[in-house]
Homo-oligomer: A and B are copies of this chain.
């Protein structure tokens, strides 16, 4: 039986999961692949901690570059994370003509251009299914299944930490700080949750997805990113009353004049499948011309789900090595010469329904003054609600708007905020009525 030798760099949670699958599921892998996937070397700074995996003597090493430079090793699996040494490892592997598997979305979203260019030039594969949505086969679906189709939009729940926190607030009515602490205690959030809670992690993923779907440049810097920090139990309560759930959505839609690519909390109708994706789970709804709506759902993070996706990539590459077909599928789905520069539409230019919550003094004429300003900016109101109780003399005044341009909404809110009767900064939450292009 042919042997494919694997070098694993970084043996943290996911790395250990990969090792576990390669060692414990050897039988099923051989039965399917017809080759032995041999985990020849595992490099980590810490080679003392027990990872629940019985490595053969000589497999563990602290010298990552020795693994990358080992001529016997066929595939490098980068599980270090971060954007410095991980990048060195990947580029060194590529320079050595070795294909790479990685789950490093931050690195690829921000430095993917250089990495993919180097890999294309060398004719080696760089696979990254595990970077987006953990075990959901979204990269494969976009690169291989929807290859004859025209993707129009993608709406995803791509960050398990945020989804866990929002589900918790929805179920228990607790403040976000309490929900975050719970997430941290249960392993669903990092000690420093910034990347997740502020939407940056989801933006890394959406950068890659937009490129895969539309054949566009990697453009992390142009994405609109808003996290879940501003979401309160009160807004979630209102959302529920109106038949919505609040989710952190990653949205990418192809328009005539560019691509809408944005990460932000949004209200979606309770009937939508996405509204039923709860806890730390992820999902992505794709709308394409021929297939219509299609959804993938699964664990977007965690040791074993992510490791399973990494092993899927290892096998894909092993099959390419065995068949001498590296580069069989373009790394980002499109032939390099066909990647287009598509502008990302500014958030001010998008048009949506909006939820606005004012905190206003309960005085006659307030509603008329607020709606007057909205009217001046061409914003028409769908409904007004005043149900909550007074806090600090102010009452919550909630409005749902008809479709409006975001720039107009923001200008109106800036003006309204100046009124003496307005006690706090108004809360603005976007409403995504449909998961497909409308």
Which residues of A come within 8 Å of B, CB atoms?
A: 17, 21-22, 25, 28-34, 129, 134-137, 140-141, 143-150, 215, 271, 273, 276-277, 283, 288-299, 304-305, 307-309, 311-312, 314-316, 319-320, 322-325, 328-330, 333-335, 338
Assess whether A147 is in contact with B29, with CB atoms less than 8 Å apart: yes
- A28-B215, A31-B335, A292-B305 known; 15 new pairs, CB 8 Å cut-off, are A21-B290, A31-B334, A32-B338, A135-B145, A135-B291, A137-B145, A144-B316, A145-B308, A271-B276, A292-B298, A294-B297, A320-B328, A324-B325, A325-B325, A328-B328
CA distance A61 to B144 in the complex (A): 30
Q: What would 16 A/B residue contacts be, using CB atoms closer than 8 Å?
A: A22-B148, A25-B149, A25-B150, A31-B215, A135-B290, A135-B291, A137-B141, A145-B308, A148-B311, A273-B297, A276-B276, A291-B304, A296-B297, A320-B325, A323-B323, A324-B324
Q: Which of B143, B149, B319 contacts A329 (CB 8 A)?
A: B319
Q: Which of B28, B299, B315, B325 contacts A144 (CB 8 A)?
A: B315
Assess whether B137 is in contact with A34, with CB atoms less than 8 Å apart: no
Knowing A137-B137, A290-B304, the reply to whether A312 touches B21 (Cβ < 8 A) is no
Assess whether A144 is in contact with B140, with CB atoms less than 8 Å apart: yes
Assess whether B294 is in contact with A295, with CB atoms less than 8 Å apart: no
CA distance A307 to B145 in the complex (A): 11
User: Which residues of the partner chain B approach A328 to less than 8 Å between Cβ atoms?
Assistant: 319-320, 322-323, 325, 328
CA distance A140 to B147 in the complex (A): 13
Kindly list the 3 A-B residue pairs having the minimum CB-CB distance in the complex, ordered from nearest: A148-B311, A323-B325, A31-B338
